[in-house]
Amino acid sequence: MSQLESWKKRKDKKCLMIQGARQTGKTFIIERFAENNYEETVEINFKEMSSAMEIFKGDLTVENMVMSMRFRFPDKKFIPGKTLIFLDEIQECEEAITSLKFWAIDNRYDVIVSGSLLGIDYKRASSYPVGYVNYIRMYGLDFEEFLWGMGIGDDMIMSLKNYLDEKKPVPEAIHDQMFNYYRQYIATGGMPEAVQKYVDTKDFREVNTIQRNLLQGYIYDIAHYAVAEEKVKAEKCYLTIAKQLLDKENHKFQYKEIEKGARAQKYYSSIEWLLRADIIHISRVVTDIRYDLDDYARDDFFRAYTTDLSMLIAMRDFSLKQHIVENTFTGNSKGGIYECAVADALYKKGYKLYFYKNETTKRELDIIIQKDGKVVPIEIKGGHAGSASINSILKKYPDITYGYKFIDGNIGVSDNGLITLPLYMVAFI
């Protein structure tokens, strides 16, 4: 909301495009923003109102488009500076995407557009409005936002941030309660509908129904929008993610887990499609741990994550939620779940993710990010296991001044710059 309000105040504002995966609340936040900031809102959802595409069939002058809208919405007042034009599911209408250039040049009306799958080639705009659009990317809820939903006040959240800033242990009573909330969050995920259902009912079976419906919706999108040669392959890649991350010690995405003998040549285009559709995100391996990590990243060696934990949890049976909430994991699942949770939090903060694996030295880092022009290594432990890999990295690379180790425990700091934090603290990095 604050980003939308900042956009509205800009004198040089362009059209605004809200990007992100489906069902993350894009339409909801835009409608709420419009209610609070405009006298009139003209909303067109191209999925619900496909006939409205006719508005953009002729000359794409603002006069022509507004005239067509007046005929279609005779009760609406088109007041320059006080009317918001909101074009939802804009991926369905390529001419509407092209029209953004002319709305921006004219600048009499504020225009916000949103849609899912905007990165795919399902419908390519005849002339994409490069230079005439501002962008905001929206994600599912992170743990801090989940705490808001659970009624945790800003004073409590600020006190948690203060413990992090001062690197002091969180009092045990607060620490235990935060871990309880964190496990509930992991089991629920960050999709707004799933979180709202949990807030309302505290019933994970109700949440499970929502999650599975959302997952089915994603699968429907793959079937509906992917080109014919990618439909089945993209679905297989997507539905194997839980197996890749939770059943194996090595979380590298392996094509052989999709089908016996499968190779990148057959399936990599499907991974690319899922990425462009905002259905997955990836972490790439790096051959060295130096800034800029992109220079050392490999495209053919990666880990794939769902864009929200709700989708990952929905890929497994209901018992996984019970193990998460009661902390009764066994085998590789515990480390896999916590890795996914930390990756999810960092992805939602806009970080690009990398990891490191050296077969010769046996050194491995679960996640690496870049922050303020510095490389920051991260280890994730389900318990209090050792830190041989990250300690070795901190010793070998003097440019790396600190790293994080997220554990099922409390805050601590080592002399070599290793900062140990409770897993839930990733929300405040």
Q: What six digits make up the tokens of 46?
A: 């191209």
pLDDT given for residue 125 in this prediction = 47
pLDDT given for residue 122 in this prediction = 43
pLDDT given for residue 127 in this prediction = 61
159 and 301 within one domain: yes
Range of the domain at 178: 143-428
pLDDT interval class at 135 (50, 70, 90) = very high
195 and 115 within one domain: no
pLDDT given for residue 367 in this prediction = 98
370 and 253 within one domain: yes
pLDDT given for residue 330 in this prediction = 72
**Measured CA distances, 316 to 197, 206, 308, 374 (Å):** 19, 15, 14, 37
168 and 109 within one domain: no
219 and 114 within one domain: no
176 and 91 within one domain: no
Q: Could you give phi then psi for residue 123, rounded to 5 degrees?
A: -140, 115
SS3 assignment, position 87: strand
pLDDT exceeds 80 at position 383:
no
In angstroms, the CA 66 to CA 120 distance is 29
pLDDT given for residue 123 in this prediction = 47
DSSP 169: P
400 and 320 within one domain: yes
Kindly report the average pLDDT of the chain as a whole number.
94
Mean pLDDT of 356-363: 89
Residue 365: which of 379, 381, 344 has the closest Cα?
Answer: 379
pLDDT exceeds 70 at position 412:
yes
Mean pLDDT of 292-310: 96
Contact criterion met (CB below 8 Å) for 195 and 31: no
171 and 93 within one domain: no
Q: Which of 137, 172, 203 is the last residue of a domain?
A: 137
Mean pLDDT of 146-153: 96
Contact criterion met (CB below 8 Å) for 322 and 183: no
Residues 6+ apart with CB under 8 A from 374: 291, 399, 400, 401
Express each pLDDT in 66-108 by its tens digit: 999 999 999 999 999 999 999 999 999 999 999 999 999 999 9
Residue 150: which of 203, 200, 186 has the closest Cα?
Answer: 200
Q: What six digits make up the tokens of 6?
A: 């900042």
Mean pLDDT of 313-321: 95
Q: What six digits make up the tokens of 348?
A: 């939602």
127 and 206 within one domain: no
pLDDT interval class at 384 (50, 70, 90) = low
Q: What's the domain count of the chain?
A: 2
Q: Would you tell me how many other CB atoms lie within 10 Å of the CB of residue 48?
A: 11
Going along 4-127, which residue ranges are E strands? 15-19, 40-45, 83-88, 110-114
Express each pLDDT in 280-300 by its tens digit: 999 999 999 999 999 999 999
Q: What six digits make up the tokens of 127?
A: 């002339």
pLDDT given for residue 115 in this prediction = 87
Express each pLDDT in 2-41 by its tens digit: 999 999 999 889 999 999 999 999 999 999 999 999 999 9
Contact criterion met (CB below 8 Å) for 386 and 379: no
Q: Could you give phi then psi for residue 54, rounded to 5 degrees?
A: -60, -25
pLDDT interval class at 329 (50, 70, 90) = confident
Q: Which of 113, 137, 161 is the last residue of a domain?
A: 137
**Which residue has 């002339």 as its token pair?**
127
Q: Nearest-5° angle of CA 254, CA 323, CA 249?
A: 25
Q: Give me the CATH number covering residue 113.
A: 3.40.50.300
Q: Which of 137, 162, 177 is the last residue of a domain?
A: 137
Mean pLDDT of 158-176: 96
pLDDT exceeds 80 at position 423:
yes
Share of the chain above pLDDT 70, in %: 97
188 and 149 within one domain: yes
Mean pLDDT of 350-368: 93
165 and 60 within one domain: no
In angstroms, the CA 27 to CA 221 distance is 18
247 and 130 within one domain: no
Burial of 51 (0-12, 13-18, 19+ CB in 10 A): exposed
